[in-house]
Structure 1
Amino acid sequence: MITLEHINLVVTDIEKSITFYQAAFPHWKIRSGGESLWSGKPRHWVHFGDDYQYIAFNDNGVNQNRDLKGHQVGLAHFAFVTSDIKGVIKRLAKAGFAIDKPGAENEYRENVYFIDPDGFEVEFVQYFSDLPNERNNDG
């Protein structure tokens, strides 16, 4: 079995990123952090998550993220499964983040997309079935 342990993101401001992800994941915390050189450039880094998964944030990012409506090569989005999508939406709204776009209507799941402070598209999905043929149904 293989599971995703972490995502490593280069951001402009670690605190702004933590504000977004702390709202989505209230049980996550800063696991560790420090300073290092990345390709000759000094960076602060933070591992933000729980005991099993985390997001690594690295500051001093430059330029803008890719145009999510364009066709440039790069990350389109990443997604997290939740058992309480309405709670995620409510916490993110309270932190000042609005839904960027709703997911397609589907009786077996509800999903929404947000844009984090650095322009990464983040999907949250709640499934209403444990059956793979229903969960993965695109109808």
Structure 2
Amino acid sequence: MIHLEHVNLVVRDINASLAFYQAAFPHWTVRGGGEGTWYGKPRNWIHFGDDYQYLAFNDDGEADNRDLTGHQVGLAHFAFVTHDLDGVVSRLAQAGFEVDKEGAIDPYRRNVYFIDPDGFEVEFVEYLTDHPSKRNSYEMR
């Protein structure tokens, strides 16, 4: 079996990133961190997550993220499954982050997209069924 362990994000400000992700994942903690260099440039880094999955943040980001409305090569978005989409949206709103766009209307899932402080698009999805063929339906609705 293979599963995703972590995503490593280059950011401008670790604390700004933490404000977003701590609101989304209140049960996660900073697992560790330190200082180092990456190709001659100093940077701080942390791992934020639980015992099994985490996000790595490195604060040596210099430029804006890719234009999410454009066609540049790069990360489009990444997604997390939740059992309480309303709770995630509420916590992020309380932390000052608004839904960027709503997902498509679907009888078997609800989803929303946020933009984090460094311009990464983050999707949160709540499945309304445990039936795989309904959760993973690709029919146009």
**Shorter-normalised TM-score: what interval?**
over 0.9
User: Offset at 1:40?
Assistant: 1.1
Report Cα offsets for 1:102-133 as digits up to 9, x if no partner: 00000100000000000000000000111111
Tell me, yes or no, if structure 1 residue 38 matches structure 2 residue 69: no
1:92-131 superposed matches below 5 A: 92-131=92-131
SS of 2:130 mapped into structure 1 = coil
1:1-139 superposed matches below 5 A: 1-138=1-138, 139=141
User: Offset at 1:39?
Assistant: 1.2
User: Offset at 1:18?
Assistant: 0.3
Q: How many positions carry a matched residue from both structures?
A: 139
Question: If the length of structure 2 is used for normalisation, what is the TM-score?
Answer: 0.97
For structure 1, the 5+ residue unaligned runs are: none
Distance (Å, rounded) in 2 between the aligned partners of 1:136 and 1:68: 24
For structure 2, the 5+ residue unaligned runs are: none
User: Offset at 1:56?
Assistant: 0.2
User: Offset at 1:81?
Assistant: 0.2
User: Offset at 1:60?
Assistant: 2.0
Distance (Å, rounded) in 2 between the aligned partners of 1:102 and 1:137: 18
Distance (Å, rounded) in 1 between the aligned partners of 2:132 and 2:28: 28
